[in-house]
């Protein structure tokens, strides 16, 4: 199983037309695309102008076939009117030796992850996720097996017993063996917030500490010594996304 995230920035965070366009183009097309299990448009809690298309696929091969067929590029272009204009400019010297400024076209950022582990119920039923929480971990070299063992034995059972937690995936980045994501699907944002506010997330993160990068371990140690919890983008990052529109296909 594979999860694909396509991240875009839009120029109108409250645009209902963007949701309708996604539903009528992306969801309509993927509904009949071989191997696609679900498609959802999510909006970031931190930045409402950031949206993510999250699709779940039966296999890496079928996801790659979709992209190589040209359908992905067609869908990207169909939604292009909603993307925020690029703030980057390319400076070049023209044929008449004058300086020319050309805007760089904004392209969606695509990330694809292999599902390494999932809860037992996630294999046969996929639904549009009401709220998705993504925790990105940086692990030290050679600690991936230990990380997976701790996640399976100590983290996954706790997550699945939390009120509102519907699914949990552990996904790996094929291009970066030090990056692992924990993707959890919740019935509501409030359920996920309660889980984090009550300290259980911090307790589970402490169990994973021996497998995290040296930088992360050092900063967590300093945090405990000063009575505060230290978190940086180099260590563990947390992102939350709410559902705008989505559909399960199989």
- Token pair, residue 135, equals 């925790």
Burial class from Cβ neighbours inside 10 Å (0-12, 13-18, 19+) for residue 238 reads middle
Q: Which of 16-30, 76-90, 180-194 has the highest mean pLDDT?
A: 16-30
Maximum CA extent, the chain:
68
Task: Kindly state the helix (H) or strand (E) to which residue 5 belongs, with its residue range.
Answer: strand 2-9
Q: Which residues contact 48 (CB under 8 A, 6 or more apart)?
A: 13, 14
* DSSP assignment of 109-177: EEEEEEEEEE-GGGTT-----SEEEEEEEEB-TT-HHHHHHHIIIIIHHHHHHSTTEEEEEEEE-TT-T
Over range 97-102, report the average pLDDT: 56
**For 90-113, what is the mean pLDDT?**
58
Count, residues in the chain: 250
d(CA 44, CA 226): 32
Mean of pLDDT values over 52-74:
92
Rounded-to-integer distance, Cα 21 and Cα 14, Å: 13
pTM beyond 0.85: no
Look at strands 2-9 and 109-118 and give their pairing: antiparallel
Cα dist from 241 to 107, 177, 186, 238, whole Å: 20, 25, 10, 10
Tell me the pLDDT band of 16, cut-offs 50, 70 and 90: confident
Give the residue among 180, 183, 173 at the shortest CA–CA distance from 216: 180
pLDDT tens-digit map of 193-215: 888 888 888 888 889 988 988 76
Structure-model confidence comparison of residues 107 and 213, the more confident one = 213
The mean pLDDT value of the chain amounts to 78
**pLDDT beyond 80 at 38:** yes
> What pLDDT shows up at residue 25?
95
- State yes or no: pLDDT of 92 exceeds 70: no
Confidence of residue 230 (pLDDT cuts 50, 70, 90): very low
- For residue 190 the two structure tokens come to 């409030």
Q: What is the pLDDT of residue 97?
A: 55
Residue 126: what pLDDT?
44
Residue 141 Cα to chain centre, angstroms = 23
What tokens appear for 166 in the block? 């519907």
Compute, in degrees rounded to 10, the torsion defined by CA atoms 189, 191, 192, 195.
Answer: 160
Is pLDDT at 117 greater than 60 in this prediction?
no
Q: What is the CATH number of domain 2-86+100-248?
A: 3.30.70.100
Report the C-alpha gap between 125 and 248 in whole angstroms.
8
pLDDT confidence of residue 176: 80
Is the model's pLDDT at 149 over the cut of 50? yes
The SS3 of residue 33 is coil
User: Is residue 231 very low, low, confident or very high in pLDDT (cuts 50, 70, 90)?
Assistant: very low
Tokens read off for 203: 């307790």
Average pLDDT over residues 99-118: 59
């Amino acid at each position: 199983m594979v999860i694909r995230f396509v991240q875009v920035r839009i120029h109108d965070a409250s645009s209902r037309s963007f949701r309708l366009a996604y539903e009528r183009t992306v969801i309509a097309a993927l509904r009949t695309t071989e191997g696609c299990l679900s498609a959802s448009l999510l909006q970031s809690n931190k930045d409402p102008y950031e949206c993510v298309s999250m699709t779940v696929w039966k296999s890496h091969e079928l996801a790659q076939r979709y992209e190589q067929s040209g359908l992905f590029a067609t869908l990207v272009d169909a939604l292009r009117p909603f993307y925020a204009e690029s703030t980057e400019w390319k400076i070049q010297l023209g044929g008449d030796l004058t300086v020319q400024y050309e805007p760089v076209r904004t392209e969606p950022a695509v990330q694809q992850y292999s599902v390494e582990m999932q809860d037992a119920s996630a294999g046969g039923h996929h639904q549009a996720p009401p709220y998705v929480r993504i925790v990105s971990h940086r692990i030290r070299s050679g600690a991936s097996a230990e990380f997976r063992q701790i996640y399976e034995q100590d983290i996954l059972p706790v997550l699945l017993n939390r009120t509102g937690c519907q699914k949990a995936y552990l996904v790996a980045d094929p291009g970066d063996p030090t990056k692992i994501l924990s993707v959890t699907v919740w019935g509501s944002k409030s359920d996920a917030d309660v889980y984090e506010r009550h300290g259980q997330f911090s307790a589970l993160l402490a169990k994973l500490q021996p497998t995290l990068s040296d930088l992360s371990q050092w900063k967590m140690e300093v945090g405990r010594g000063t009575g505060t919890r230290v978190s940086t983008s180099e260590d563990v990052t947390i992102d939350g996304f709410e559902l705008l529109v989505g559909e399960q296909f199989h």
